[in-house]
Chains A and B, each alone.
Chain A
Amino acid sequence: MSQNIKVSIKNLYKVFGSNPTEALQHVYDGLGKVELLAQHDHVLGLNNINIDIPEKRVQVIMGLSGSGKSTLIRHLNRLIDPTAGEVEVDGVDVLKMNPSALRDLRQKKMSMVFQKFALMPHRTVSDNVAYGLMLQGIRRGEAKERSQKWIDRVGLTGFEKSYPSQLSGGMQQRVGLARALATDADILLMDEAFSALDPLIRTDMQDVLLELQAELNKTIIFITHDLDEALRIGDDIAILRDGGLVQQGDPQEIVLRPIDEYVSDFIMDINRGRVLKVRSLMNAGEKGGKVEVDQDMALEDAMQKMKDTPNEPATVLKDGKAVGALDMRVLIDAIERPAPETASGNVYR
């Protein structure tokens, strides 16, 4: 990928317990999470995480609860200190920063949206949004003026003087989002930001985020346990399990080629026809028939177009030019849910 690496996580370990450094030696010696807890009474939070997060993309980090995803995101702005490893932001190691450099990073470079909103209950909406700016020492009037733009942008105009407790969950998270955006930080950390919302409002907020991202091009690191959400907004997905990284890559790739049972269990219930794109399945360079489909079309839409000529491959277009062909059989194979044998062994559910 040609993009610059914005955040780079290298060999990151986190052990919780009374003597983490000693326990870490056992991890280096090959002990897993379960053994470490049983034999040494330490919890392995993160186990050798390596992720490079490119600039201006949405990196989703996924996992079930207890997989260490919230711990991982807190290492990026050092709300939690790791036991070993490196976290580089724009090439600077966050872990070597002194307190004032770290404050600077948190104030100007990285902002965060929280699962439980974490708004200041004693501040009005506009004071909450201006919070990050006020911490930077910008005086109140200017901070409010600058934050007003973001209040309008997330659709909370008219609620400036309300207190968070007077708003619904979805609106509170809009405040949280506006607060994070108001500091103009280029990295946005979102810790299960939409998980506490109702499904409809969640979709709504995802739309808001995608819309904003199309315009702002921030580097977003998004934590979620919801695969549909991950597939919807993620440019890249990393899947965590028991503190270790299981698979990372393009959403298409993860759906088509799950690395192990854990991942295939994860993707079993998704709507493959809607997630998978034509470009992931086409035979590049081959010639197709009369029916034309765009390479970024979802499979279910492509199937609609191809249903009248099932025996003839469709031509795949990119920017109006033919780049390959898509066979109906391939398409149906891809949409088919993986057989229970391959995606069974329901140990993780």
Chain B
Amino acid sequence: MGDLKFDEFGDIWIFLLTVPGHLFNLVFGLGKFLVISLPITLYQFVIWLGLTLIELPVTLFKFARVVLLAGWGTIKNLYLFLVTNDWSWNALNDFPSLPSEFRVLLNLGGINKPFDYFAGSYGFAVKEFILPLRRAMNDLRDFIDFMPWPIFFALVLLLVFWVSRKMGVVLLALAALLFIGVFGLMELASQTFSLMILSIILCVLFGIPLGIFMSASDAVDRAVKPILDLMQTMPSFVYLIPVLILFGVSPVAGLIAVVIYAMPPVVRLTNLGIRLVPFEVVEASHAFGATYIQRLFGTLIPLALPNVFAGINQTIMMALAMVVIAALVGAPGLGAEVLSAQGTVNLARGLQSGTAVALIAIVIDRSLYLYGDRMQQHRKVGH
């Protein structure tokens, strides 16, 4: 946030001349992201999918080869295992594990090699399609970074007030901003903000349709739920590895890691919210001849909205929690600062940046909670 200084201009009028530029940036920064970067990303993704499908026979052939090799290896090694294993009582002390040469075959042939092959042949395509994402992240960061701090403060406080309608939360937000500013964390915070905003947009963009899809079909529901469980319970360091192989150490790798970790709540709660819409109301919409689309947008989503908002809130909280871990694969911002403080055993720096993350989380949580509360209240007065 240090790029523009009053002194450099020497004159307020010259500063004011830059205001249209800032306003342009304000609209353009987000607009560029929403209208250009995001569609390009999706377009690239579709092309990538197409290429993958075209190459499917080759992939299947290679996969079959791997499976055959692994199968042959399994049979051979199980035989070896049965023949060579010590079947005496002594052997009961330790669980008989697979022979090491078989494990090598399994790990290398079954998982690592195919993935390396995947990363090798698609790595370029993957990088191609994450390029717009990286651009978008930079756009957002610059957009926040180039803003004069009073405007940034005012925007944040206004936003918080608009969402929460409570002076207490606005004061808390002000305290958080002052804390971040005073300890020189503003630039890091802006990077964290851009990461957060982008990851939440992606989570909502993919999560809500997926949740709707799950609510519409029990089969999809059954298929997706275990994947969501896996996304949430698998230690996040595990999927940092493929993310790292595919995307390298980069902000986008951090972004992807955050999205994977933070998406499940919004999917789950969208699904749940729609399924919890009272049966009578759904039946009434059937009885009056609503199409699925009319029912979805006229009845299901509006009534599921409080739950969807709870899901978005959860997603934001989880994204913030992931910021530090994602720093391991190159996510910039406060998380990286925490990580480096840990590396240099510097408690003060760690506390400062950690507190900054916590304050941001509290402000967002309070604001959204109050927003959700207000949204329900004007419908539930009276009897």
Contacts and interface: CB of A to CB of B under 8 A. Distances in A.
A118 B294 CA distance: 17
A114 B283 contact: yes
Contacts of B280: 114, 116-118
Contacts of A166: 381-383
25 contacts: A103-B291, A106-B286, A106-B289, A111-B287, A112-B287, A116-B280, A118-B278, A119-B281, A119-B284, A120-B281, A120-B285, A120-B298, A121-B281, A121-B303, A122-B379, A131-B288, A135-B288, A135-B290, A135-B294, A165-B380, A165-B381, A165-B382, A165-B383, A166-B382, A167-B383
Q: Which 7 A-B pairs have the closest CB atoms?
A: A106-B289, A107-B289, A118-B284, A118-B280, A166-B382, A112-B287, A103-B289
Give the most central of B284, B290, B291, B382: most A CB within 10 Å. Answer: B284
A105 interface: yes
Contacts of A102: 289
Nearest to B295: A135
B314 interface: no
A168 B299 contact: no
Given A163-B379, A168-B383, A132 B288 contact: yes
Interface in A166-225: 166-168, 179, 183, 189
Nearest to B291: A103
Nearest to A182: B288
B39 interface: no
A332 interface: no
Interface of B: 278, 280-281, 283-291, 294, 298-299, 302-303, 378-383
Given A117-B280, A120-B303, 11 more contacts: A79-B287, A111-B288, A118-B278, A121-B281, A122-B302, A122-B303, A134-B298, A135-B289, A166-B381, A167-B383, A168-B383
B294 to A, nearest CB: 6
B288 A107 contact: yes
A295 interface: no
A152 interface: no
Interface in A53-79: 77, 79
A104 interface: yes
B284 A112 contact: yes
A106 B286 CA distance: 8
A106 B381 CA distance: 32
Contacts of B381: 163, 165-166
A144 B116 CA distance: 62
A133 B299 CA distance: 15
B40 to A, nearest CB: 36
A114 B298 CA distance: 19
Nearest to A116: B280
Nearest to A122: B302
Contacts of A189: 287
A166 B283 CA distance: 22
Contacts of B291: 103
A116 B279 CA distance: 11
Contacts of B382: 163, 165-167
Contacts of B285: 120
Interface in A131-164: 131-132, 134-136, 163
Contact of A114 (B284, B289, B303, B380): B284
A102 B381 CA distance: 37
A218 to B, nearest CB: 16
